Structure 1
């Protein structure tokens, strides 16, 4: 009797131990599977985040490069324009200053302008040439004879104190004035020179 009870007790104990071990193994196996799944999910998520971050970084880098390139081109273009404008302004200024101080050039310009008008056989309204005070004597002596031949009458050459360079042709009765001061010459030369200087300096 005691033997049977002992065997029964041992069987119950062994069955309990076996079932407990099976349950423990099952729990450990499930935990291991869940851990592997969690690890895989975490790894996949991390890889996705890294890939997305890399993609965003590449987009930002490409955008920055494009912006820098555009800025570089813009700065170069502005620099080219400024260099061209500076050279044009200086060159035009030098040419204008020299020519507007040249008595022979001034005389030829005035005579060419006079030739373009219809003087109505000397009956046209009087015209005056306004010139710098320092040039009036030389210009008047050089121009009167030729001007008289062109106009059929004398050209009045008047000195103007505040006119430093260049000249102006005025007809008060008709109400017009043609100006060729140093500033006018400079603007004229600059407009002619700018495209050529730009083409010369920055041709591809």
Structure 2
């Protein structure tokens, strides 16, 4: 009986070990499959992340190159404008100053401008030129003043003059800055064309 009990115990033990080994094999197989699935999923996600990172890097590179091209074009354009501006200023400033300092030329323009205002005008002249203009106009200035034209002198005007109705509703400016701005706007396209071939 003892032998049968030992044999039965051994049989139960062996069946238990065999069953445990089978269950362990199933668990181990499932674990391997799950690990393989997780590894495959991780690889796929890693590949997607790398792919997205490369796409982002490529886009950033394209944007940076585009920005550099645009910035360089703007810088070249700005340099060209500055060069043209400097040359135009040299070409325009001296002749305009010569013309504006010619009292007879300015006097003729003032007389013609006053004819169109029918003596209902305000004339603003440069304060620095007050004595020379009074000397140039002489008695004519007194005639202009007695004719009802209001004459003022302004420190802000360096050359030329401004004229308008006495009610100050508007002023027409003939200052040296105005003439220079006019001639610069006229000369700048020609200067750019001459220097850079019309680009």
For the superposition of Structure 1 and Structure 2, which TM-score range results when normalised by the shorter chain? 0.5 to 0.7
Structure 2: which 5+ residue stretches go unaligned? 110-118, 120-124, 137-152
CA deviation digits over 1:116-146, x for unaligned, max 9? xxxxxxxxx9xxxx8995xx89xx9xxxxxx
Per the TM alignment, residue 50 of structure 1 is displaced from its structure 2 partner at its CA by 0.8
TM-aligned CA distance change 1:93 to 1:15, over 3 Å: same
Q: Does the CA-based 8 Å contact 1:80-1:202 persist in structure 2?
A: no
- Deviation of residue 26 (structure 1)? 0.5
**Structure 1 gaps, min length 5:** 114-124, 141-159
| 1:194, distance to aligned residue in structure 2 (A) | 3.7
1:53 aligns with one of 32, 49, 72: 49
Which structure has the larger Rg? 1
Query: Displacement of 1:40 after TM fit?
Result: 0.7
1:185 corresponds to which of 179, 184, 191: 179
On the 8 A contact 2:164/2:172 being kept in 1, the answer is no
2:23 is the alignment partner of 1:27: yes
Distance 1:193 1:73 in 2: 29
C-alpha displacement at 1:69, in angstroms? 3.2
Aligned residue in 1 for 2:38: 42
Counterparts of 1:55-204 in structure 2, within 5 Å, are 55-102=51-98, 164-165=158-159, 167=160, 181-196=175-190, 198=192, 200-201=195-196
1:17-50 per-position Cα deviation (integer Å, ceiling 9, x unaligned): 4312321320221122122112112202211221
TM (norm. structure 1) is: 0.54
**Alignment size in residue pairs:** 173
**CA 1:191–1:100: 2 relative to 1, 3 Å:** closer
RMSD: 5.0
TM (norm. structure 2) is 0.55
**SS in structure 1 opposite 2:91?**
helix
Q: For 1:102, what is the secondary structure of its paired residue?
A: helix
Q: CA deviation at 1:11?
A: 4.1
Rate the CA distance shift 1:193–1:86 in 2: closer, same or farther, 3 A.
same
